[in-house]
């Protein structure tokens, strides 16, 4: 079976969907009977591109300000897509929100419905394009993959589609996320002036739905000595409308107990995740919550909000809080630094929970969905 996978997102710095495409494509190579062709937006290739860093974009900055830029780019991509080896393609997989036009069977991945719950996190032009094309894309797809049962249920209700149109394919964890010894961590964390288990970590694009302000407030309420010993590190790119909580962030940065590291290369991030005392992840809405799984696989306990799909990922290993409960989050963070027995139990539970997820499993479910969509 010859599969066309739209990998255009890999031309930009990799966040959630980018990591999904890269890891899934790599895992699908081991599936017998599948031959993968990757569409990169302007052409075709069997190879994954190198990860781009922030500041790089396949779209010229001036084009973003031109009215109709999204439509123009899509028109160009459709023309390039149509010039591909269509006669040799049996099925098209679109891993994001709007599939390109294709005469054969299409499978689509719907990671979440963020644009419905948090429209302010999207640039207006992109939001308009999502609203214009998503419904058509969903109708076009023979099967819709989701990362979690939560999103499958939510999408089924919203679009009014039968349950058998959805296939849940939970994400996996990259091999770079694993437990590491103190000697290795000390050497790599020294670059940031850190010690193993000597800091809290937040990971994710800086946007309001990530609920970063709750983490900042809870950390600010820890005793002064603990804030000095366990600073809060924030890793991620600036999202749309980051300014909605910039005052809170700037105040926290000025305290000297919070550090903003921006977007980091994959291996540096994996080192920071493995070295943290805990991952603090109070997001209000996630279709899966990949940083939660990556932290657990690294032996790092997780404090997270009991929201959306995240309980499916963390299971009994999570330290859950209400997304508006500053005191609850502060207490959870405090316990993880003061109670070593509790910290160790959370670490072991997380490592065990993480074994339930793999990119190999995701690829097997996805390959089965391809065969289903083909009528096999």
Residue 339 lies in a domain: yes
Q: Which of 357, 219, 355, 240 is nearest to 290 (CA)?
A: 357
Query: What is the average per-residue pLDDT within 162-183?
Result: 97
Same structural domain, 127 and 206 = no
d(CA 151, CA 164): 14
* Segments forming the whole domain that contains residue 346: 182-354
Which H or E run contains 351? Answer: helix 340-354
What's the CATH number where 86 sits? Answer: 3.40.50.2000
Q: Tell the residue number behind the tokens 């500041």, with chain if given.
A: 55
Do residues 105 and 14 touch, judged by C-beta distance below 8 A? no
Same structural domain, 49 and 164 = yes
Same structural domain, 80 and 97 = yes
Same structural domain, 36 and 162 = yes
Do residues 297 and 351 touch, judged by C-beta distance below 8 A? yes
Q: Which of 267, 258, 252 is nearest to 189 (CA)?
A: 267
Q: 141-178: b or e for each residue (b if 16 or more CB lie within 10 Å)?
A: bbbbbbbbebbbebbbeebeeeeeebbbbbbbbbeebb
d(CA 39, CA 180): 36
Residue 201 lies in a domain: yes
The reported pLDDT for the residue numbered 63 is 47
User: Does residue 56 surpass a pLDDT of 50?
Assistant: no
Residue 366 lies in a domain: yes
Both tokens of residue 1? Answer: 């079976």
Same structural domain, 64 and 104 = yes
Same structural domain, 131 and 239 = no
The reported pLDDT for the residue numbered 372 is 97
Q: Tell the residue number behind the tokens 């394919």, with chain if given.
A: 169
User: Does residue 365 surpass a pLDDT of 80?
Assistant: yes
Residue 266 lies in a domain: yes
Q: How confident is the model at residue 266 (pLDDT cuts 50, 70, 90)?
A: very high
User: Alpha carbon of 249 to those of 52, 204, 215, 234: distances in Å?
Assistant: 26, 14, 10, 10
Do residues 208 and 241 touch, judged by C-beta distance below 8 A? yes
pLDDT tens for each residue of 32-46: 999 999 999 888 888
Same structural domain, 187 and 122 = no
Count structural domains, the chain. 2
- The structure's pTM equals 0.92
Same structural domain, 38 and 148 = yes
Q: How confident is the model at residue 59 (pLDDT cuts 50, 70, 90)?
A: very low
Residue 320 forms beta bridges with which residues?
A: 304
Same structural domain, 201 and 128 = no
Same structural domain, 238 and 327 = yes
Residue 177 lies in a domain: no
Same structural domain, 78 and 196 = no
pLDDT tens for each residue of 82-139: 888 766 899 999 998 889 999 999 999 999 999 888 887 777 877 888 888 889 899 9
């Amino acid at each position: 079976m010859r599969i066309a996978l739209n990998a255009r997102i890999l031309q930009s710095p990799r966040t959630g969907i980018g990591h999904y495409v890269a890891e899934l494509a790599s895992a699908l190579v081991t599936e017998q009977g599948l031959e993968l062709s990757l569409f990169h937006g302007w052409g075709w290739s069997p190879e994954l591109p190198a990860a781009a860093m922030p500041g790089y974009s396949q779209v010229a900055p001036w084009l973003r300000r031109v009215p109709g830029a999204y439509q123009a780019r899509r028109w160009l991509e459709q023309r390039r897509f149509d010039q591909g080896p269509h006669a040799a393609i049996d099925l098209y997989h679109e891993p994001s929100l709007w599939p390109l036009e294709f005469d054969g069977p299409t499978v689509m991945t719907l990671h979440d419905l963020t644009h419905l719950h948090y429209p302010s996190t999207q640039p207006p032009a992109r939001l308009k394009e999502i609203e214009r094309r998503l419904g058509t894309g969903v109708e076009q797809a023979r099967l819709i993959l989701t990362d979690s049962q939560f999103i499958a249920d939510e999408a089924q209700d919203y679009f009014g589609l039968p349950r058998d149109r959805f296939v849940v394919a939970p994400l996996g964890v990259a091999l770079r996320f694993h437990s590491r010894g103190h000697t290795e961590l000390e050497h790599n964390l020294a670059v940031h002036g850190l010690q193993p288990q000597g800091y809290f970590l937040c990971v994710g694009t800086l946007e309001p739905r990530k609920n970063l302000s709750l983490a900042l407030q809870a950390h600010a309420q820890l005793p002064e000595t603990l804030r000095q010993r366990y600073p809060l590190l924030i890793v991620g790119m600036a999202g749309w409308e980051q300014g909605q909580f910039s005052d809170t962030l700037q105040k926290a940065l000025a305290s000297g107990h919070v550090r903003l590291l921006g977007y980091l290369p994959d291996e540096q991030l994996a080192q920071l995740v493995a070295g943290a005392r805990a991952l603090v992840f109070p997001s209000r809405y996630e279709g899966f919550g990949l940083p939660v799984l990556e932290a657990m696989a690294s032996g790092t306990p997780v404090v997270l909000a009991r929201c959306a799909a995240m309980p499916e990922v963390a299971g009994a290993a999570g330290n859950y809080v209400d997304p508006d409960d500053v005191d609850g989050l502060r207490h959870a963070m405090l316990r993880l630094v003061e109670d070593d027995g509790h910290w160790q139990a959370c670490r072991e539970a997380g490592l065990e929970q993480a074994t339930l997820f793999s990119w190999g499993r995701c690829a097997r479910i996805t390959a089965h969905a391809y065969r289903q969509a083909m009528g096999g």
